[in-house]
Structure 1
Amino acid sequence: MDFESQAIIKVENGNIFQGMDAILQDVNFTIEQDEFVFLIGRTGSGKSSLLKTLYADLPLKMGKAEIVGFSLEKIKNKEVPFLRRKLGIVFQDFQLFPDRTVAENLFFVMKATGWKDKSKMNNRMIEVLLKVGLGDASTKMPHQLSGGEQQRVVIARALINNPSILLADEPTGNLDPDVADGIFRLFQEINKEGTAILMATHNHDLLRKYPYRVLKCEKGKLLDSKTADISINTSF
């Protein structure tokens, strides 16, 4: 497959499955290394399945895809941790360990992805917390933080390994509008520093306010605003 030199993701004739069911068919798109792209669609239309396929939680059964140098149609189970070291994944429901401090949550990811030097780990932990505006939160437990602060910890966790791209699944979905806007501005700052962003969202206000490229899951297809007119005014 002839990938552009700046492409972080390229999918060619991909079929996205959930179990035995094809959720999206004939998927084709490319994301460049500094792009910010919205992913939209109704509940059940395939957004989360597409993201899960990109970080190899679901197999790519048909078609070809490459992300951060890994071919998803060929990837072996033992290679998946190496793929995820080059990605940042941000979930709507945080998935923080409730019985560990913020620092311990971040150290867990570092240990799982091969970090061994405690001094470097501590320095990186401080660095990413400062980046997300939580420089004084390392000793706090998740329940001591607001929802917006917990999401910032999740973003810090996703940034640990300097990923080429962040995959974000409804990262502002459980937050009130003002907090959600702050989280979105943080994603913009990360993007301006050179990290690509693919963000699934239902937030119409974000889509109207920020004219980023849009991918839309609709009726088993993935539409791309680069090549098609996409309505963001209908329910999704």
Structure 2
Amino acid sequence: MPFSGEPIVQITDASIFQEDQTVLNNINLKIAKGEFVYLVGRTGSGKSSLLKTLYCDLPLHMGSIRICDFEIEKIKRKEVPMLRRKLGIVFQDFQLLPDRTIAENIFFVMKATGWKDKAKMKSRLADVLMKVGLGAVSNKMPHQLSGGEQQRVVIARALINEPAILIADEPTGNLDPEVSEGIFKTFEDINRSGTAILMATHDFKLIENYPKRTLTCGNGEVLDSAAQPVT
């Protein structure tokens, strides 16, 4: 699929740090609007640190990153919530509040990102749950859902503000292979609707079955499967 226009992510001469250690050096890459990209590499190779830098959980000390029209190296603390409204973030460990219903979990995020109109909130809740195939779970507690269903709720929560890009950190890491495939197909459906996806994964079966552009972290660098070889 051809992509055009301004990239949704542009990383220029960036180095990524975890505490005082440099984990990735001199990254230069772009992710187009609507693109689906895998991020792979061994544990400790810098995948999660790169993702955390994109959504400002880790500071950027060297180079520049532009994502959703925000310049990460210049971003002010008060602007970080505005950036995160344009991103959807999907974690491996769900991070659902166990003492609240699914609806309350999603309303919590809505209120934190500026939603106030209750009718619009209820309508959007129904929309995002239907999008992930969970139209009837809003009054259930997280523990009443399977792992796959909980991950779908997390994806629904990430879609609340119609993000330009979903950043997913090992979203199928705790799930059985069959469930993982269903979750992956949910991501593909979301991508087909125009949302870019950057997915960190260890699931090489998925990559083999559904090949896409792949960024590989290792030995302090990021290798891009789409890079043209030098001749």
TM-score after normalising by structure 1: 0.94
Q: Where does residue 86 of structure 2 map in the other structure?
A: 86
Distance across 1 between alignment mates of 2:34 and 2:114: 26
Distance across 1 between alignment mates of 2:152 and 2:102: 11
Taking only the aligned residue pairs, the percentage that are identical comes to 65
Q: Where does residue 116 of structure 1 map in the other structure?
A: 116
RMSD of aligned residue pairs (Cα, Å): 1.0
Q: Where does residue 63 of structure 2 map in the other structure?
A: 63
Q: Where does residue 161 of structure 1 map in the other structure?
A: 161
Q: Where does residue 43 of structure 1 map in the other structure?
A: 43
Quote the offset at 1:6 in angstroms: 2.9
Q: Where does residue 177 of structure 2 map in the other structure?
A: 177
> Which letter does structure 1 place at the counterpart of 2:113?
T
Distance across 2 between alignment mates of 1:228 and 1:129: 40
Quote the offset at 1:7 in angstroms: 0.5
> Which letter does structure 2 place at the counterpart of 1:21?
Q
**In the TM superposition, what are the counterparts of 1:1-236 in structure 2 within 5 Å?**
5-227=5-227
Distance across 2 between alignment mates of 1:184 and 1:14: 29
Distance across 2 between alignment mates of 1:174 and 1:211: 21
Distance across 1 between alignment mates of 2:215 and 2:62: 20
Quote the offset at 1:228 in angstroms: 6.2
Distance across 2 between alignment mates of 1:196 and 1:137: 27
> Which letter does structure 2 place at the counterpart of 1:66?
R
Runs of 5+ unmatched residues, structure 2: none
Distance across 2 between alignment mates of 1:227 and 1:159: 30
Distance across 1 between alignment mates of 2:210 and 2:178: 16
List structure 1 segments (4+ residues) > 6 angstroms apart after TM superposition. none
| CA shift digits 1:174-206 (9 cap, x unpaired) | 000000000000000000000000000000101
> Which letter does structure 2 place at the counterpart of 1:63?
G
1:141/1:55 Cα in 2 relative to 1: closer, same or farther (>3 Å)?
Answer: same
Runs of 5+ unmatched residues, structure 1: 230-236
